[in-house]
Amino acid sequence: MPVISRGFHGRRQDGPPDRVPPGQYVTEDFPVLSAGPTPHVHLDSWTFEIQRGGDLLHAWTWEEFQGLPREDVTRDIHCVTKWSKLDTTWEGVSVDTLLDAARLLDEDSAYVLAYSYGGYDTNLPRDDVTGGKAWVVDTFDGEPLDPEHGGPARLLVPHLYFWKSAKWVRGLIMRDEDDPGFWESNGYHLRGDPWLEQRYWGD
C-alpha cells in the first residue's frame, strides 16, 4: 500500500462524466508532449503525401493544401497521460477530402500509418480516419498551429487517444496490415479508444 501524502491532491479537475472518459481529468492548459526535438518545417518545403507499397500516390504542396475545402472542427481531446481538454477548436482538411481529391476513395487498404517530420509514426484503422472522423489541421483556436503543438500541420483524430493525432504530420501510408507505430510497438494499444480505456497492450 502506498503512503498517502496528507493534503496532496494534484491539479486534477473532474469533468462531466458523459464527456470525460474513465481515468481522465480535465485540464484548461494545453500540455505539450514531445518524444524528440521539435521539427521546424518551412512551408515552401512542406508536403503532405499519400503512399502505398512504396509508391507515391499523391502529394500536395502547402499552397495546394490551402486550396482544398476546409472545415471548422470543435471536439474534446483525450491524452493517454490522463488529461482531457474540452471544446478544442481546429481548422483543416478532412481526410475524406484528401482521399477524394487524390481519387483514392475506392482504394481498399484496411489500415493507414500516419508518419511525421521528425520520424514519429502511428497506425490507425482506415475506418478511424474516414467518415468525418479525422482531419489534417493547421489552425488551433483561430491561430496558425504552433510548432510545439505540431505545426505547420498535425493529424486530428479526436475520438482516439491523442498520441494517434500525429504532430508534424507528413503523410499517410495505405496498408493491408496493422503494423504498430512508434508507441504501439512498445506497450501502447493498437487502437487507443479512450472510452474503452485502451491504453496499453492487453487493455
Q: Catalog residues that contact another protein under the rule CB under 8 A.
A: 2-12, 29, 31-38, 80-81, 119, 163, 183, 185-188, 199-201
CB 50 within 8 A of CB 64: no
Shortest reach from residue 89's CB to another protein, in Å: 23
d(CA 111, CA 125): 4
Relative to beta strand 47-52, strand 121-125 is unpaired
Picking from 77, 96, 75, 74, the residue whose alpha carbon sits closest to that of residue 31 is 77
Provide the minimum distance between the beta carbon of 4 and another protein in the complex, in angstroms, as a whole number: 5
Nearer to another protein, 6 or 42 (CB): 6
Q: Which is nearer to another protein, 178 or 197 (CB)?
A: 197
For residue 83, how many C-alpha atoms fall within 13 Å in the half-sphere facing its CB?
11
Burial (Cβ within 10 Å: 0-12, 13-18, ≥19) of residue 178: middle
Q: 102 to each of 14, 53, 59, 97, 105, how far by Cα in Å? A: 43, 16, 8, 9, 8
161 CB neighbour count, 10 Å cutoff = 26
- Provide the minimum distance between the beta carbon of 27 and another protein in the complex, in angstroms, as a whole number: 11
> Residue 99 Cβ, how far from another protein at the closest point, in Å?
28
- Closer by beta carbon to another protein, 66 or else 81: 81
Query: Which residue, 41 or 73, has its beta carbon nearer to another protein?
Result: 41
**Least distance to another protein from the beta carbon of 38, Å?**
6
Residues 173, 27: Cα–Cα separation, whole Å: 33
Cβ nearer to another protein, comparing 98 with 169: 169
Identify which of residues 3 and 44 has a Cβ nearer to another protein in the complex: 3
Burial class (CB in 10 A: 0-12, 13-18, 19+), 96: middle
Q: How far is the CB of 162 from another protein (least distance, A)?
A: 9
